[in-house]
Amino acid sequence: MGRLDNKVAVITGAASGMGRATAVRFAGEGAAVVVADLNQEGGDAAVRDCKEQGGRAVFHKTNVESEGDIQGAIEHAVREFGRLDITYNNAGIAGALGPLEQVSAENWDRTFAVLLRAVFFGIKHSIPHMRKSSGGSIISTASIAAILGQAGPLVYSVAKAGVIHLTKCAAVELAKDRIRVNCICPGGINTPLLHKHVPGGEATTLQLLQIAQPLARPGTPEDIAGMALYLASDDAEWVTGTAMIVDGGFVARGNAFAQQSAFEVPGKWSGPSFEKD
């Protein structure tokens, strides 16, 4: 018996990184998964990985800046698999980079559209379907940058703080429907979203992450997938409104590791990890 047998999940940003690792983990635990992402090639590969784990999976091309795309991914899950039990609002970008005085209004708004407004859409359109199933689990990706200053790009950090508060407010409102709402705050996870901005790329990033936190190894997408599995499963049936920190002890040590320097590029925009900036 898998921990997610007979459950249906939608995961945004599931073509790579933490989303992909979570999709594969969910599929291996018995869930049917909708891989929702802009990246068709990566999404198709993630579907194949899910099926290799014995799970069911389909790809839905999704731009999380579009409410219709997010609603479409959720409706695809219901149409294909008959219900919705889990929504993981995971898609992310670094977004607006550089000092605050050099951030354009356009880049501010788009960063919030991807990192915060999309989470609102994911929660909003999950509610009626989860209510029909007598409950469900909504998970979103926040960040330790929402908790610590100087732990990520400024606009990104503020948007992720919004994810934490939206999580708490939605959890209270939806508790009567047995819909649990939680978020995950990853620390330094070795994904393209992080190492694409570090001089020296992935090799240098791995060296930095090796010493960035008390548990002296880089974080992996699988570390986040493990927490997402817990929150999605019935093991967490009395857990809601939480921001679960998965960071190897980074926040506990209180050391705002100098990630900021990698993002101090005046006026720059950083989009999805599979696209060149």
Alpha carbon of 47 to those of 52, 81, 92, 136: distances in Å? 9, 15, 19, 23
Instruction: Give, for 86, the enclosing helix (H) or strand (E).
Output: strand 86-89
* CB-based contact 90:22 (threshold 8 Å): yes
Identify the active-site residue in 156, 250, 269, 274: 156
φ, ψ of residue 269 to 5 degrees: the values are -120, 140
**Is 88 known to be catalytic?**
no
DSSP 10: E
* 166-203 CB burial, b ≥16 within 10 A, e <16: bbbebbeebeeeebbbbbbbbbbbbbebbbbbbeeeee
Q: Which tokens hold the place of 81?
A: 């698999």
Residue of 24, 20, 19, 27 whose CA lies nearest to 3: 27
Q: CA 126, CA 107: separation in Å to the nearest integer?
A: 28
* CA 166 and chain centroid, separation: 14
Adjacent-strand bridge partners of 136: 179
φ, ψ of residue 268 to 5 degrees: the values are -85, 155
Indicate which residues carry an active-site annotation.
156
